[in-house]
């Protein structure tokens, strides 16, 4: 069997997917302003997962400037496809709306301003895919809403599950028979932070 490459992190940094001017600008802005975004590897992963699941309705919890939402909405293929994204900071929500217009994705994306748990409480429409990227201490409280709002066999992706505050969420999903899940602890170039866990869970 062949040996693993030397310095795998430096090696894989050279294969980070290419992206356009707007996404590069949002990455630079995020670095400058310390806005935690998923970066191009998880962004592309979200695109691929949304596309292979043929997702028509996607829910995102935690919009920030709209970086990850641009990948998710870009994956929508169905003419009625829609992304709903929730952000509790009105100034960030407004910046995200502006970025969605610049990406010509605004007609596919609805930004709701408010707390994710409170907004989800009001929702009844089913989703194919949920991406969770809010305050980590809110993850366990959001999980029952994700279960209720996802269709059977819908996909939940939770970012940053390597954070201590995601512990209650990790334990809840691990002890539940309502999900089939996996945690991947990975090197994620340009993700905030670059070493972190991602949870992918199928709603049974
Ligand atoms: C990690 S950032 C989201 C990054 C974004 N998903 C991306 O990769 O481009 C988390 C965002 O969620 C917002 N947020 C945190 N807790 C929230 C909550 N309970 N409800 C709604 N928004 C929340 C924060 O204001 C912040 O903008």
Evaluate whether 133 touches 160 at the Cβ level (below 8 Å): yes
CA distance to 48, 62, 73, 87, 203, per residue, from 110 (Å): 21, 13, 10, 11, 24
Q: CATH number for the domain including 153? A: 3.40.50.150
Q: Nearest CA to 70 among 111, 34, 31?
A: 111
What residue ranges in the chain does DSSP mark as E strands?
Answer: 57-61, 82-87, 109-113, 127-132, 150-158, 179-187, 195-203
State pTM to two decimals. 0.98
In testing the pocket of ligand 1, which one of 19, 41, 64 has its CB within 8 Å of the most ligand atoms?
64
The per-residue pLDDT string of the chain (204 residues; one tens digit each, 9 = 90 and over) reads: 899 999 999 999 999 999 999 999 999 999 999 999 999 999 999 999 999 999 999 999 999 999 999 999 999 999 999 999 999 999 999 999 999 999 999 999 999 999 999 999 999 999 999 999 999 999 999 999 999 999 999 999 999 999 999 999 999 999 999 999 999 999 999 999 999 999 999 999
C-beta 119 within 6 A of ligand 1: no
Backbone angles phi, psi at 37, to 5 degrees: -120, 165
Domain range spanning residue 101? 26-203
Evaluate whether residue 3 is within a structural domain: no
Instruction: Please indicate, yes or no, if residue 52 is contained in any of the structural domains.
Output: yes
Does a structural domain hold residue 7? no
Q: Which of 135, 141, 146, 163 to mutate to test the pocket of ligand 1 (most atoms within 8 A of CB)?
A: 135
Domain count, the chain: 1
């Amino acid at each position: 069997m062949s040996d693993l490459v030397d310095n795998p992190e430096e090696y894989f940094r050279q294969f980070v997917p290419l992206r356009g001017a707007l996404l590069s600008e949002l990455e630079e802005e995020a670095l400058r302003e310390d806005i935690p975004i998923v970066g191009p590897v998880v962004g592309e992963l979200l695109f691929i997962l949304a596309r292979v699941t043929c997702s028509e309705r996607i829910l995102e919890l935690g919009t920030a400037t709209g970086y990850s939402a641009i990948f998710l909405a870009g994956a929508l293929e169905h003419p009625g496809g829609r992304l709903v994204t929730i952000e509790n900071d009105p100034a960030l929500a407004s910046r995200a709306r502006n970025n969605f217009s610049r990406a010509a994705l605004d007609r596919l994306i609805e930004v709701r301003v408010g707390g994710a748990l409170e907004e989800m409480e009001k929702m009844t429409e089913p989703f194919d895919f949920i991406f969770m990227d809010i305050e980590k201490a809110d993850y366990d409280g959001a999980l029952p809403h994700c279960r209720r709002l996802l269709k059977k066999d819908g996909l939940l992706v939770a970012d940053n599950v390597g954070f201590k505050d995601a512990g209650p969420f990790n334990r809840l999903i691990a002890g539940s028979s309502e999900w089939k899940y996996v945690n991947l602890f990975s090197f994620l170039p340009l993700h905030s932070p670059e070493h972190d866990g991602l949870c992918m869970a199928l709603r049974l």
